[in-house]
């Protein structure tokens, strides 16, 4: 595998980094305090072509490869997890799922405006009683003529008050357990749909997260994604995509922790010398650097498999698990390096620490990925090709 960046990727990184430095860095501390961000940011992301970075040009995207998506997620999370999360959900969980599973009519109606950034997509799987245990979900979609009647609720939904379209999972036949789950494209303005933001979060405070509710929402049969009973398979494929973006974002957070720590090591002196000359501080900085390098390699390895159109559940799971753990440790060490100042929002590292916890939980907890990797190593689990793989990336 060749992990050298192309000139296009170098330009992309420079462009996103410049955007983050200009639009996010000066404002994120205040947005974090107030619990929301300027919604105009979403339009600016669209203007840069980032809302459809790896979606083919024929569907309104920028036509870049999946490692270009990783670069975008790295650089956005360097600014704040909020904005990487927005792109993760919009592209990784929703748009890439439409690309992989949608029919042509669905792609033209929903994927094209999302890839152009004219509409925002979100993802509805988790429920109050169903997280890692997807089969425990309670939402139902009952056939009624040419429609389905959708009832239930979803929780911890990113972009709950912002998104225009939601990819929602519900039982069409609960007797079949996971084979009775189906996937639907739901529009915000349909009667019976409502949302409510969650407050009091530990981290990602600037991000819009909350619940969505379905009270006899009438969903046309044309908005069934895939076939009835394919919802569980679609959800797992979606999580492969979402986990990839989360892992890439974690690389960006390690980068941010490393940058902030190196800067502080140059500014702060103790016992007559810069703190960067103390070996135990060097050890923490070295661990950040190692975590950054290892995580990035795991992410790009998974991205290359995606570029080839190959199943990557095992590789993406490992990248997500390790990168998020490294990011959590890097943020903890960054606070330690800053000492008492790390406990104050005068410096960004306290926000990095708060933000670093959620990715260890969502898109498959650390424990879920530990079990997955053990089962692969022990031979208990084996991936079979999905009947609809992501299209291989081809240079435009």
Q: What residues act catalytically?
A: 363
CA distance 66 to 54: 6
Beta-bridged to residue 181, according to DSSP, are 171
Contact status, residue 341 vs residue 347, Cβ threshold 8 Å: yes
The residue written with tokens 């203007």 in the block is 47
- Rounded distance between C-alpha atoms, residue 48 and residue 25, angstroms: 17
Q: What is the CA angle 44-164-147, rounded to 5?
A: 160
Q: Sign of the CA dihedral 78, 72, 304, 237?
A: positive
Which two tokens mark 119? 């509409």
Quote the CA–CA distance of 175 and 354 in Å, as a whole number.
41
Please name the residues in contact with 273: beta carbons below 8 A apart, sequence gap of 6 or more: none
For residues 284 and 132, the answer to whether their CB atoms sit within 8 Å is no
Q: Give Cα 135 to chain centroid, integer Å.
A: 22
Please count the helices (runs of H) and the strands (runs of E) in the chain: 13, 10
Distance of alpha carbon 285 from the chain centroid: 26
């Amino acid at each position: 595998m060749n992990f050298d960046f192309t000139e296009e990727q170098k330009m992309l990184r420079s462009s996103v980094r410049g955007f983050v430095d200009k639009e996010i860095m000066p404002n994120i501390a205040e947005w974090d305090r107030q619990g929301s961000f300027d919604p105009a940011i979403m339009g600016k992301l669209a203007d840069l072509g980032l809302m459809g970075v790896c979606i083919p040009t024929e569907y309104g995207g920028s036509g870049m490869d999946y490692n270009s998506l990783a670069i975008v997620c790295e650089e956005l999370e360097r600014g704040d997890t909020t904005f990487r999360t927005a792109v993760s959900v919009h592209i990784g969980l929703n748009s890439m799922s439409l690309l992989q599973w949608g029919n042509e009519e669905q792609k033209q109606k929903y994927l094209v405006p999302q890839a152009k950034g004219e509409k925002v997509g979100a993802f509805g799987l988790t429920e109050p009683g169903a997280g890692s245990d997807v089969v425990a979900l309670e939402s139902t979609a009952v056939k009624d003529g040419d429609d389905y009647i959708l009832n239930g609720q979803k929780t911890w939904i990113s972009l709950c008050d912002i998104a225009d379209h939601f990819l929602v999972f519900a039982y069409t036949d609960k007797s079949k357990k996971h084979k009775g789950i189906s996937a639907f494209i739901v529009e915000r303005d349909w009667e019976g749909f409502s949302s409510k933001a969650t407050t009091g979060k530990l981290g990602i405070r600037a991000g819009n997260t909350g619940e969505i509710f379905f009270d006899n929402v009438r969903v046309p049969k044309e908005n069934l994604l895939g076939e009835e009973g394919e919802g569980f398979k679609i959800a797992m494929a979606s999580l492969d995509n979402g986990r990839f973006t989360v892992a890439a974002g974690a690389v960006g957070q390690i980068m941010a922790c490393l940058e902030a720590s190196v800067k502080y090591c140059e500014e702060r002196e103790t016992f007559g010398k810069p703190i960067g000359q103390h070996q135990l501080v060097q050890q923490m900085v070295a661990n950040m650097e190692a975590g950054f390098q290892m995580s990035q390699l795991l992410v790009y390895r998974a991205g290359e498999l995606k570029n080839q159109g190959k199943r990557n559940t095992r590789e993406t799971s490992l990248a997500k698990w390790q990168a998020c753990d490294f990011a959590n440790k890097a943020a903890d060490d960054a606070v330690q390096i800053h000492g008492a100042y790390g406990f104050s929002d005068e410096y960004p590292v306290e926000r990095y620490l708060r933000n670093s916890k959620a990715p260890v939980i969502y898109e498959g907890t650390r424990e879920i990925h530990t079990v997955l990797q053990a089962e692969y190593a022990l031979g208990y689990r084996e991936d079979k090709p999905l009947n609809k793989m992501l299209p291989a990336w081809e240079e435009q």
